[in-house]
Amino acid sequence: MRQNRRWFDPLLLAPLIFICHFLEESPAFVVWFNSHVARGITPDLFWRVNLSALVITLIVVGIDWASRSAAARILTIGWFGFLMGANALFHITGAVVDRSYVPGLVSAALLYVPYYSWLLVRSAKGVNFVILVVAGLAGATPMLVHGYLILFRGSRLF
C-alpha cells in the first residue's frame, strides 16, 4: 500500500548520516583497526568498502522510498541492521574495550543509534515487528561477527 509522500522523508537522511560517520572515521580508523588486527587493512580498502556501502545505502533507500512495501521495509531494516545497528554496537563496545575513543564513536552513538531506532519504529507500521527484528539481526550478524573478531580475537571476517 503506497503512502502519500511528504515533501521530505527522514528516510532520505540515511546516506547523509552514513557520510557523517565515514567522515568521522576516515582520518584515523585504519590506524586504529590495524592496531587491533595483525592482518590489517589499507586506506584504499577502507575507502572501497565505505563507497560500496554508500552505493548499497542509496539503492536500499531508493527502493524503500519508491515502493513503501513491506518487503522494502524488511530489506531496509536488514541493511541498516548491518550498517548502523551492529556498527554502532561495534564502536561503542570498542570504546569500552579500549577505554578510549574509537574513530566513528560519536556519530555511531549520536546518529546511528537514534536513526536506526526511528527506522524500526517507522517500519513497524505495517510490518510485523518480529519479522523486522529477525531481518535486523540477520543483517547485523556479519558485522557483529566481524566486530567480535576484531575486538576479541585480533582477526577479521573479510
Domain that residue 132 falls in: 11-153
| pLDDT tens profile 83-99 | 999 999 999 999 999 99
pLDDT digits 0-9 by tens, 99-127:
999 999 999 999 999 999 999 999 999 89
Q: Does residue 3 fall inside a structural domain?
A: no
On whether the CB atoms of residues 53 and 110 are closer than 8 A, the answer is no
Q: What is the DSSP letter of 154?
A: S
Residue with cell 519479522: 131
Q: Is residue 126 one of the residues assigned to a domain? A: yes
Helices (H), ranges, 9-128: 14-25, 29-34, 43-67, 70-80, 87-98, 105-107, 113-123
Contacts 24+ apart (CB under 8 A), 35-44: 36/150, 36/151, 36/154, 37/150, 37/154, 37/155, 37/156, 38/154, 38/155, 39/155, 39/156, 41/156
Quick one: which of 88, 87, 115 has its CA closest to 10? Answer: 115
5 within domain boundaries: no
CB 135 within 8 A of CB 77: yes
Task: Kindly state whether residue 1 falls inside one of the protein's structural domains.
Answer: no
pTM of full prediction above 0.95 = no
Interacting residues of 31 by C-beta distance below 8 A, sequence separation 6+ = none
pLDDT, tens only, 54-74: 999 999 999 999 998 999 999
Asked if residue 10 has pLDDT above 80, the reply is: yes
- Asked, for residue 29, whether it belongs to a domain, the answer is yes
Residue 52 and residue 65: Cα distance in Å, rounded?
A: 20
Domain count of the fold of the chain? 1
Q: Is residue 158 part of a domain?
A: no
Q: What is the rounded radius of gyration, in angstroms, for the C-alpha atoms of the chain?
A: 16
